[in-house]
């Protein structure tokens, strides 16, 4: 009787382990994907070597941190500043969307501790930079949080919705950097 009971428990544990493993693989492969952060363009939000969790289900909103591929095969992590149909410009470290002043609370710390004689975000006019008045349908304007050292839409142009892989939601490694984005 003891042996039969042991075999029942053994097979139950095997079944639960299998189901748990399959669910974990599905979550990791299709829903919550680990992403390494490379480069310094998102400092102080994320640093070189951080590991973050990306999810693919949410629609992209202003100020989301997204992961995307460019046609040349390179992968980037940047912050969405401009949404489809909008015009983006900067003047005196101030963001303007369609001519309206917008706050960037995630940059407050960076703006005050840096050398104020050099702008944090260099001025640009959207039409001069992009050659169009507004972003196209399904186009996004992205910039790194470390504005002075970021290769972003100011250099490679707007990105399409098809190029976006997902949105960063959480930094989980190293432990001192752990936080929700």
The residues annotated as belonging to the active site are 41, 78
The DSSP 8-state label assigned to residue 41 in this structure reads T
46, 77 contact by CB (below 8 A):
yes
Nearest to 126 by CA among 162, 91, 80: 91
Q: Look at the block and give the residue holding tokens 């939601």.
A: 169
Cross-strand partners of 96: 89, 101
Q: How many CB atoms lie within 10 A of CB 128?
A: 8
Cross-strand partners of 179: 171
- CA–CA distance, 61 with 43 (Å, rounded to integer): 20
CA distances from 108 to 11, 94, 122 (A): 56, 11, 16
Q: Look at the block and give the residue holding tokens 């399409």.
A: 160
């Amino acid at each position: 009787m003891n042996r039969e009971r042991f075999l029942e428990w053994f097979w139950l544990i095997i079944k639960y382990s299998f189901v748990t493993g399959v669910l974990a693989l599905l979550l990791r492969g299709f829903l919550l994907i680990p992403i390494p952060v490379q480069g310094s363009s998102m400092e102080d939000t994320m640093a070189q070597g951080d590991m973050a969790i990306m999810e693919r289900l949410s629609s992209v909103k202003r100020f989301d941190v997204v992961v995307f591929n460019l046609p040349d095969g390179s992968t980037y992590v940047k912050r969405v500043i401009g949404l489809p149909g909008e015009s983006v410009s900067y003047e005196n470290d101030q963001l303007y969307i369609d001519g309206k002043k917008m706050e960037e609370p995630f940059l407050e710390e960076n703006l005050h501790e840096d050398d104020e004689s050099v702008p944090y975000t260099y001025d640009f006019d959207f039409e001069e930079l992009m050659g169009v008045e507004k972003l196209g349908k399904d186009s996004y304007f992205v910039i790194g949080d470390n504005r002075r050292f970021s290769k972003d839409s100011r250099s490679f142009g707007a990105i399409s919705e098809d190029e976006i892989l997902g949105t960063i939601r959480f930094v989980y490694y190293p432990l001192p950097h752990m936080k929700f984005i």
